[in-house]
Amino acid sequence: MAVYDRKKNKMEFLLDTVNLEEIKTYAEIIPISGITSNPSIVKKEEPIEFFQHMRAIRNIIGQDKSLHVQVVAADYDGILADAEAILKNIDDKVFVKVPVSSDGLKAIRVLKEHGVSVTATAIYTKMQAYLAIAAGADYLAPYYNRMENLNIDPKEVIREVAKEIERTGSRSKILAASFKNVDQVNAALEAGAQASTVGVDVMAQAFEMPSISKAVADFISDWESIYGEHSTIADL
C-alpha cells in the first residue's frame, strides 16, 4: 500500500487485488500508485483470461503506476519463461514478482541484467532480503502476517532491512505485504518499511472506525441547527 519515493518525498499506496471494480473504486478514493497480484489473488477472480485481465488493470491505472505480476514456475528456466510471457503479453513496464528461493534469486539477477523491473517476494528472513538487495531487486516484499504466524518478528526484519538499504545506498524499496489488519500496516511503516501493499478488506478498516462517522454526523447536525435541515455550504 505505501512506498516512499526518495526523490519526490512522497508516500505511494498500492492495492493487493485484481478485482476490476475494487480497483476502479479505490482509485477514486486514494492516490494509489500501483497494483500487486499473485496466483492466490488471481484465483479469487476465476475464471478470467489472465493476460487480457492484466491489460484491463493497466488500462485502469495507466502507464505511470506500477503493476506487479508474479511468476508461477519455481525453477530457474521456468521463472525466466514466465517473466518473458508476462512482459510480452501485458507490457514491458510490469514489475515481475519472483519468490526469493535459490532459483528465484538466480533469475532475479539475470532479469536485472536485462533491465527488467523486479519485485522480490515471499521474503521471511533478513538474509533473503539482503540477497535480494544485492541482486538489485527494485522492491522487496516481506510477508508481515505470515512471519508473525511463524514467530518471526516482522518489525525487526523490516528495521534491519531498511538499515541495509540506507547503509548501501540501494534503490531497493521494502514493499511489506500480507496483512490482516490496519495495526500491522502501521507497524510495518513505523518499523521503516518504505512500502506496503494492502488488500481492500484491510484498506476498508481504515474508514470503518465508528468515531469517524460520529464526528461527521455531529458536524452536519451543528451546521443544520444554524442553517436548516439538509442544507450545505453550496446551498448558501
> How confident is the model over 56-94, as pLDDT tens digits?
999 999 999 999 999 999 999 999 999 999 999 999 999
How many structural domains comprise the chain? 2
Q: Are residues 103 and 195 in the same domain?
A: yes
| pLDDT surpasses 90 at 179 | yes
Q: Are residues 230 and 161 in the same domain?
A: no
Q: Are residues 215 and 188 in the same domain?
A: no
pLDDT digits (tens, 9 = 90+) for 33-51: 899 999 999 999 988 899 9
Q: Which of 7, 24, 88, 97 is catalytic?
A: 97
Q: Are residues 62 and 173 in the same domain?
A: yes
Q: Are residues 73 and 186 in the same domain?
A: yes
Asked about 97 being catalytic, the answer comes back as yes
Q: Residue 163 sits in which domain range? A: 2-205
Q: Are residues 96 and 138 in the same domain?
A: yes
Q: Are residues 96 and 171 in the same domain?
A: yes
205 CB-contact burial (10 Å; exposed 0-12 / middle 13-18 / buried 19+):
middle
Q: Are residues 39 and 51 in the same domain?
A: yes
pLDDT digits (tens, 9 = 90+) for 16-30: 999 999 999 999 998
